[in-house]
Amino acid sequence: MITFFVVVFAAIVFEYSNGFHDAANAIATVVSTKVLTPRQAIAMAAIFNLTGALLGGAVASTIGKGLVDTNVVTMATVLCALIAAFAWNITTWWVGLPSSSSHALIGGLCGAALATARGNWSVLKWHSGLWPKVVVPMITSPLAGFFLGALVMFALFVIFHRFTPAVVQSVFGKLQIFSAAWMAHSHGTNDAQKTMGIITLALFTGTKAGSFDHLPGWLTFLQTPAFGAIPAWVTILCAITMAAGTAAGGWRIIRTLGHKMVKLQPVHGFAAETSAALIIQTASVYGIPLSTTHVISTSIMGVGAAKRFSGVKWTVVERIIWAWILTLPATGLIGFILARAVAAL
């Protein structure tokens, strides 16, 4: 029982770190274009992350039961996965790299589950979960972000090229508030769901192991004999935690996305946010735990490339790509080592 509460605490810490780590996804462009002040943008992102987190559940279901064999998972497995993901989140946040919290959590879970299964690779649901819902989207979603961002930017240029810069600035200064709000909402529908899935997995694991058999009456709501709908209290807890984390902000990553990669104006911010939000929202409907970081980053790159190919600072892009490539194997290894260490105790 104590282990379960430690797992929930670790999940909440991870969700909070996810909020401030990925706050930049929703607001980097609207801050860098000076449409909103950082304080206004973070408040807006916190509100719309909350609304997004309260909706849906397909992504939570994928994370909780679609990637690894739940019959093998123990409470210690879930805890090791969360610690691995949190450690990677903090490391990349500290150096200002927009790596993926989603892939950090997935990598940690797979590595910890593999260690729990004593190296039996069949514990990983490769064909039904990992390949179609993690690996393929990991490759295709950044490409989609880049090309859709470039396409939307090109279309806006064709439509508005006869207007004066002052008119374009005025129009998109207002429209970008809506695109940033949609980006924050779509981020909540995808990213917040992942921790909900992890906590529900812990509830199911604890129930299966008999950890909740002798609970007092007021705690019987913890019993989860089947992995079905996400409990309402889990949804609310994760939604509020992510909103709080978003309110704390992620200034280092905002600076990388909004200033270092490409110089943006409101029309560019609108194009990038609209492209990214559309892709993320679509993925959420189909239960695909997308990397929102990958999508908004490549959308910004696509917009920058459409504006002027040399305008994208490719040395910064290279650092980001390395962080992306390393996330899954690094967190998988950390999760594996932690779970093996716990098993040896």
pLDDT for the residue numbered 22: 67
> In the predicted model, what is the mean pLDDT of residues 236-259?
71
Q: 1 or 299, which is more confident? A: 299
> In the predicted model, what is the mean pLDDT of residues 265-286?
92
- Most confident by average pLDDT, 36-40, 122-126, 229-233: 122-126
Rounded Cα distance between 206 and 234, Å, is 15
Would you say residue 229 has pLDDT above 90? no
- Alpha-helical (H) ranges within the chain are 2-32, 38-53, 58-65, 75-94, 101-116, 136-160, 165-209, 232-248, 251-255, 266-285, 292-307, 314-344
Would you say residue 330 has pLDDT above 90? yes
Q: What is the pTM of this model?
A: 0.86
Tens of pLDDT, residues 12-51: 988 887 777 666 666 777 777 778 887 788 788 888 888 8
At residue 81 the predicted structure's pLDDT band, cuts being 50, 70 and 90, is: very high
Which region among 186-195, 291-300, 303-312 has the lowest average model confidence (pLDDT)? Answer: 303-312
Name the nearest CA neighbour of 68 among 239, 206, 183, 205: 205
Tens of pLDDT, residues 179-207: 989 998 998 898 888 889 999 999 999 88
- The residues, ordered by sequence, that sit 6+ positions from 165 with a Cβ below 8 Å of its Cβ are none
Which tokens sit at 165? 């810069």
pLDDT for the residue numbered 209: 84
Tens of pLDDT, residues 43-68: 888 888 888 888 877 898 899 989 99
Would you say residue 334 has pLDDT above 90? yes
Rounded Cα distance between 156 and 145, Å, is 16
Would you say residue 2 has pLDDT above 60? yes
Percentage with pLDDT > 90 across the chain: 41
Would you say residue 329 has pLDDT above 90? yes
- Most confident by average pLDDT, 106-120, 230-244, 261-275: 106-120
> Three-state DSSP class for 68?
strand
- Hey, what amino acid is at 324? W
> In the predicted model, what is the mean pLDDT of residues 250-271?
67
Domains of the chain: which residue ranges?
A: 2-344
At residue 288 the predicted structure's pLDDT band, cuts being 50, 70 and 90, is: very high
Give the CA diameter of the chain.
Answer: 72
pLDDT for the residue numbered 77: 95
DSSP assignment of 266-285: HHHHHHHHHHHHHHHHHHHH
Would you say residue 292 has pLDDT above 60? yes
At residue 99 the predicted structure's pLDDT band, cuts being 50, 70 and 90, is: confident
Rounded Cα distance between 258 and 97, Å, is 12
Tens of pLDDT, residues 126-175: 999 999 999 999 889 988 999 999 999 999 999 998 899 899 989 998 99
- Residue 249 Ramachandran class (φ > 0 left, ψ -120 to 50 alpha, else beta): left
Would you say residue 218 has pLDDT above 60? yes
At residue 239 the predicted structure's pLDDT band, cuts being 50, 70 and 90, is: confident
Q: 227 or 327, which is more confident? A: 327
